[in-house]
Amino acid sequence: MALYLTDIPRAVIEFGQMIATMPLRGTLPSGDGHPVLVLPGLLAGDGSTVPLRRLLDSLGYCAHGWGLGLNIGPTHKVVSGISDRLAELHARYDAPVSLIGWSLGGIFARTLARRHPSAVRQVITLGSPFRIGHEGQSRAAATFRWFTHLHAERHAFPLESEAEPMPVPATSIYSRYDGMVAWQTCIDATSARAENIAVLSSHVGYGHHPAALWAITDRLAQPRGTWTPFRPPALLRPLFPRPDDPPYVPSGPHLRSA
């Protein structure tokens, strides 16, 4: 509860930290011009991802919002719209698109990558509870339920798709200080091209927390077709706690629907 009540105030402080560290922006890895699609979290829109997208543009990427208004879950508009958006960017740049998804947006990003792997370069999630097992693991569950009558897709907990490894490189950025979702639900099963990066961020602050931004830009800067584990510079290592081991995830249909 303490983390939940302080999440927004901590996010405000983290935004100030981002502003204070802007003179160090030149130390961030430069981009190669490939397209990046950023998907917002529940009840958020493209406005919430402006700081992140502006930073990525300044580093040489072609960052885009999803253009679908507020995220209220998998409505018909969203399900078809994000697929169309991905296809449009893939065709426009003639290159696979990196996907960054914040919270619920990360679940959408992972689903997109599974459905259209040839169009996706990699997936980066920010506090996304793709391993959620029950509603008690998210403070946003009640809000999500308000819109279920508008949803085009329903899924059981845990998400059946998460029983299989991602078909593209995947990075999950999470925080033990997340006040909205249980951090355990954000941890991916590590593999040859999947990893978890722990930061000290609030949930609302992922999109501008300095450590999260460093991790995002480091992952995006990897040459196409290659993947190496994340290694922060020595001076920044205190900002990145040791990632937790992936929790046991039972398989098979069970629990309730979302």
In angstroms, rounded to a whole number, what is the distance separating the alpha carbons of residues 63 and 65? 7
- Residue 256 confidence (pLDDT): 36
Which strand ranges, in their side-by-side order, compose the sheet holding 62-64? 62-64, 35-39, 97-102, 120-126, 170-175, 194-199
Ordered domains of the chain (ranges, CATH): 2-22+33-239 (3.40.50.1820)
The reported pLDDT for the residue numbered 248 is 54
Q: What is the dihedral of CA 210, 214, 217, 219, to 10 degrees?
A: -140
Amino acid in the structure at residue 175: S
Supply the DSSP symbol for 183: G
In Å, how far are 17, 93, 128, 212, 213 from 6, measured between CA atoms? Answer: 16, 41, 19, 19, 21
Q: What is the pLDDT of residue 101?
A: 98
Q: How many residues does the chain have?
A: 258
DSSP designation for 204: T
- What would the two tokens of residue 60 be? 């040489």
Q: What is the pLDDT of residues 152-193, one digit of tens each?
A: 998 878 887 888 889 999 999 999 999 999 999 999 987 889
Specify burial of residue 21 (Cβ count, 10 A radius: 0-12, 13-18, 19+): middle
What secondary structure, in 3-state letters, does 34-88 show? CEEEEECCCCCCHHHHHHHHHHHHHCCCEEECCCCCCCCCCEHHHHHHHHHHHHH
In angstroms, the CA 255 to CA 44 distance is 28
Residue matched to tokens 């402080």: 13
- Distance in angstroms between the alpha carbons of the first and the last residue of the chain: 23
Q: Output the pLDDT for position 250.
A: 45
pLDDT 10s digits, 211-234:
999 999 999 999 998 889 999 988
Give the whole-angstrom CA distance, residue 60 versus residue 90: 17
Q: Where are the beta strands (DSSP E) in 103-193?
A: 120-126, 170-175
Cβ(68)–Cβ(122) below 8 Å: no
pLDDT confidence of residue 148: 93
> Which residues in the chain land under pLDDT 70?
247-258
Q: Label residues 194-226 b or e (16+ Cβ within 10 Å = b).
A: bbbbbbbbbbbbbbbbbbbbbbbbbbbebeeee
Q: For residue 38, what are the β-bridge partners?
A: 100
